[in-house]
Amino acid sequence: MYHPFPWLRSIARVIVFLASCTLLGLYINQLVLTLLVGTFGLLGLHYWRLYRLNYWLWHSKKISPPTARGIWSHIYQGIYGANLKNRNKRKSLGEIIRRFRQGSEALPDAALVVDNSSEIIWCNRLARIELGLRWPEDMGRKVYDCINDEQFITFYQANRFQQPIEIISPINPNKVLEFRVVPYEDDHLMFLIRDVTRLTQIEKMRKDFVANVSHELKTPLTVINGYLEMLPENGDLPAPMMQKAISEMRSQSIRMQSLIEELLVLSRIEASTERAFEKRVNVPQLLWQIHAEAEALNRKRLHKIFFDISPILYVYGIESELRSAFSNLIFNAIKYTPNNGVIEVRWSLEGDQAKFSVRDNGDGIAAEHIDRLTERFYRVDKARSRTTGGSGLGLAIVKHVLSHHNSRLAIKSDIGKGSEFSCRFSTELTLLMDQKTTKSAVL
């Protein structure tokens, strides 16, 4: 609080000091010289105080002010008090900013703010995931440079934001994003981006599901009905024929059950509304669980299967979906690689992304088939698929799981040398845990 008395005391001290100098000058008969020396001494003292003040403000690491008497003590204390107030204000502002950031990260939609020059000034984590933005590298870039879509650019330049717009995701062609624009501050705009893929696909999913089930169940039902029609009413058939009929019907019924289960899994994944970016998945533990299942499946195939799993590498995602995708790729390698083959399963960090890969030394896949492998019910060799019990849905499930996690399946294959199936997870989904040990096992 400001108080006038220190100033009155200082003025009084100056007057007393100058009066003393005057008396001393009169006493020694050197009045002018004594007043000059006293005045310069007084100025020197104040400049020394100014130097200490400047040093404390710009160079000293101490928070508390230097010690002084009189008016300088009052000045130091005033500056010190103002600094404390500013520090408390900065602390309060920092707390407000922290809460704003936490609130923005908790938004169910991606959010992006641009200024009146169309430059990006802020985005939340979901925007970085859904739009592939890199922060803070993309700060200051034009929004239409980061979202290079003609429909979006036309929508933005038209400056008519009453209705939202739907465009294909710039990083995932299997996703449809809805952009809604709202005013923000005086001349800024906020984009709210929502994944509406499920809404646009739901009708198509229903039609595809009915068509696929009708087609795929027709063959086993025809086989079962054929054998049932062959059976006489009294059930009197030769033992060998009866045994063959029962065996074939049991095989076809198992095939139908497996097919229906996988169709339900695929439909559940496609229709899932669960958010893939909120829960942390312990992928190393998940893969070691699949390792035990692969060991049981491999007993008759006698493959050498190498698991090289980073124990500190986690991702954000949906554990059940990732388990389905990873197990499908590993089990496919076991089923379709000729006996006594070599299979390598790796989970590692490459650059700043997590990578999962399954490599085998099997027969390989011809180039003309690779682009169609993830289609529902597509089979390279239908006869071999029937032998191994394949339904043609495994890689379709993998494709949809990875799409849900903003990733995609990469396939490399050479005839006679083998194949590699891999996928990567973006930086925003990758998480390194604090562990120092690594694991590696051989089946």
Q: What is the mean pLDDT of the chain?
A: 80
* Length of the chain (residues): 443
Burial label, 117 (beta-carbon count in 10 A; 0-12, 13-18, 19+): exposed
Closest CA to 130 of 276, 283, 347, 310: 276
Instruction: Identify the pLDDT of residue 299.
Output: 86
Q: Are 343 and 421 in contact (CB under 8 A)?
A: no
Helix extents (H) in 237-318 = 239-270, 283-297
CA dihedral for 19, 23, 29, 30, sign (positive or negative): negative
Q: Report the interhelical angle of 319-336 vs 283-297 (nearest 10°).
A: 30
Per 3-state DSSP, what percentage of the chain is helix, strand, and coil (rounded to 5)? 50, 20, 30
Mean of pLDDT values over 272-278: 71
Instruction: Identify the pLDDT of residue 315.
Output: 92
- Percent of the chain at pLDDT above 90? 14
How far, in Å, CA of 327 to CA of 294, rounded? 8
Instruction: Identify the pLDDT of residue 437.
Output: 39
Instruction: Identify the pLDDT of residue 116.
Output: 84
Count of alpha carbons within 13 Å of 437, Cβ hemisphere only?
3
Instruction: Identify the pLDDT of residue 208.
Output: 65
Res 209 pLDDT > 80 = no
Mean of pLDDT values over 1-15: 67
Instruction: Identify the pLDDT of residue 409.
Output: 92
Three-state secondary structure call for residue 48: helix
At 100, the pLDDT band (50, 70, 90 cuts) reads low
**In the beta sheet, which residues pair with residue 191?**
112, 181
The token duo for 78 is 């005033």
**pLDDT tens string 358-407:** 999 988 888 888 888 887 777 666 545 455 555 678 888 899 889 888 89
Mean of pLDDT values over 61-79: 76
**In the beta sheet, which residues pair with residue 110?**
193
Q: Are 335 and 296 in contact (CB under 8 A)?
A: no
At 282, the pLDDT band (50, 70, 90 cuts) reads very high
At 443, the pLDDT band (50, 70, 90 cuts) reads very low
Count of alpha carbons within 13 Å of 327, Cβ hemisphere only?
17
Pairing of strands 342-350, 304-309: parallel
**Strand (E) or helix (H) holding 182:** strand 176-184
Count of alpha carbons within 13 Å of 165, Cβ hemisphere only?
19
Radius of gyration of the chain (CA): 38
What secondary structure letter does DSSP report for 152?
H
The token duo for 16 is 């007393």
The token duo for 8 is 């009155």
CB atoms within 10 A of CB 375: 13
Cis peptide before 136 (omega within 30 of 0): yes
Pairing of strands 353-360, 313-316: unpaired
How far, in Å, CA of 397 to CA of 261, rounded? 12
Helix extents (H) in 59-149 = 71-105, 125-131, 143-146
**In the beta sheet, which residues pair with residue 440?**
308
How far, in Å, CA of 223 to CA of 207, rounded? 25
Give the Cα-Cα-Cα angle 63, 68, 71 (nearest 5 degrees). 110
Closest CA to 350 of 310, 291, 407, 406: 310
The token duo for 275 is 């958010």
**Strand (E) or helix (H) holding 5:** helix 5-28
How far, in Å, CA of 422 to CA of 426, rounded? 14
Strand (E) positions, 319-409?
Answer: 342-350, 353-360
Res 438 pLDDT > 50 = no
**In sequence order, which residues have a C-beta less than 8 Å from that of residue 334 and are 6 or more positions away?**
294, 297, 298, 301, 303, 305, 343
Q: Are 348 and 394 in contact (CB under 8 A)?
A: no
Three-state secondary structure call for residue 350: strand
**pLDDT tens string 176-194:** 888 988 888 778 888 888 8
Res 165 pLDDT > 50 = yes
Closest CA to 39 of 25, 53, 29, 27: 25
**In the beta sheet, which residues pair with residue 420?**
359, 412
Q: Are 418 and 365 in contact (CB under 8 A)?
A: no
